[in-house]
Amino acid sequence: MRAKNIKSKQSFLLLSLFFSGASFGQQLLETKEGDLLFNPIISTNAASTTTATGLIKTNITDQSIGGEFFYKLPHTAPLDPTKSNKFNFITGGIKAKPTEGYGAVFKNGQFSPAANFTFSLNRFKLLDANLDQATATANDNFTDWGGIYFGLNVNKYQLYRSDTTFAAQLYSKVFNGGSIGLNYNMLLYSQFLLSAKLGYSRKANFSDLDEVEVKDIKSEYDPVSLTTRTVTTTKTARIGEKYAEFDSYNLTIALTRLTQGGAGSAIKMGYSAYFDLKSSSIAVTTANVGVILFLAQAKNYISTPLIGFDFQFADVSNNKKSETGLFKRFSLGLTSTIPIR
């Protein structure tokens, strides 16, 4: 049995590859945990060909592959309330991954699936209520959108515990978790995006548990050939004694400098500073702060982030009473986006 600390993996480089399925690129930035930093913008004046757009993506930290879609609801006229729908656009996403990672898939042929579904309903102009009439536009330096989001997680976990009978030590656990919350985004001076997400989710602490490899060795002696044969099967699991399911509340606030979507193809730098507060029923409240520096390139007047570096300090106020200093709780992440066209 070989134990590895999964937390050391979380401080490892994050590499997310987004393969854009449309030239209508989104300013997509993910946290190290694989959550979108803010609900992306979708144009409400898009032509019929860009009414809906989507992309596929992979994320190496949580080892997921998935897709996102964005759909503008019909008959949306944000400037005219008499024509406008209650909600202007919807977004959705799906992610799938092996819960023990691809290492276990390739090494042991072991696959425990996890799927994550997200959906959000969004509306433009929540506080920006002047309807952008020309007479009021001169001093209008912001616009906003926001809405409600839902999520559903379906996971199958492989767990190991030593404090029970031999036959019951290695077992599977199915966990279904849901989430619900609100998101709000304010675009200031056409360039600075202030965004906030507040939500509840039902979670399991599987990813925080130590990982073990369980090896079953069977021996058989053949008196004819005088040979002892051993057969080894290996399974990757997490220590189950501390497994828990719990309620979690989180608040994320981010300020992002979006890059210009101009005619040129120059690479430009943007940044996002974020504050992520997490509270749960089984652990103390912690706050992570970080900065994502990203490079984006304009193509067809749309800015697409190519690469991003995520600098994060975890639990800045040391509520977990860790004996390590703040800089020991620092980690670097790397995100990358590759548009197909």
Partner 1 sequence: MKKFDLELRVKTQGYVFSWGVYLQEKQGFPVMDNTTARDPETGEYVKKFPSHSAPNDELIVIVSSEGVVGGETTCTVIIDGTKREKKVIDKLTVPGYASEKYKI
CA diameter of the chain: 99
Residues numbered 253-282 forming contacts with partner 1, rule: CB under 8 A:
258, 260-263
Question: 157 has which bridge partners?
Answer: 173
**How big is the chain by its Cα radius of gyration, in Å?**
23
Give the residue with the Cβ less far from partner 1, 124 or 157: 124
Residue for token digits 């919350």? 181
Q: Does 27 bind partner 1 (CB under 8 A)?
A: yes
Question: 72 has which bridge partners?
Answer: 89
Binding mask 133-162 for partner 1 (x = CB under 8 A): xxx-xxxxx-x-------------------
Quote the CA–CA distance of 44 and 275 in Å, as a whole number. Answer: 29
Which phi and psi angles does 216 have, rounded to 5°? -105, 120
Give the residue with the Cβ less far from partner 1, 187 or 212: 187
Binding mask 189-208 for partner 1 (x = CB under 8 A): xxx-----------------
DSSP-assigned states of every residue in 271-282: EEEEEEEEEESS
Copy the structure tokens of residue 310: 């995520």
Q: 3-class DSSP state for residue 64?
A: strand
Give the residue with the Cβ less far from partner 1, 150 or 192: 192
Give the residue with the Cβ less far from partner 1, 80 or 247: 80
Q: Does 124 bind partner 1 (CB under 8 A)?
A: yes
Question: 307 has which bridge partners?
Answer: 295, 336
Candidates 6-14, 41-49, 93-101, 177-185 — which segment interacts with partner 1 by CB under 8 A? Answer: 41-49
Q: Does 16 bind partner 1 (CB under 8 A)?
A: no
Interacting residue ranges for partner 1, rule: CB under 8 A: 27, 41-48, 75-80, 82-83, 124, 131-135, 137-141, 143, 187, 189-191, 258, 260-263, 298, 301-303
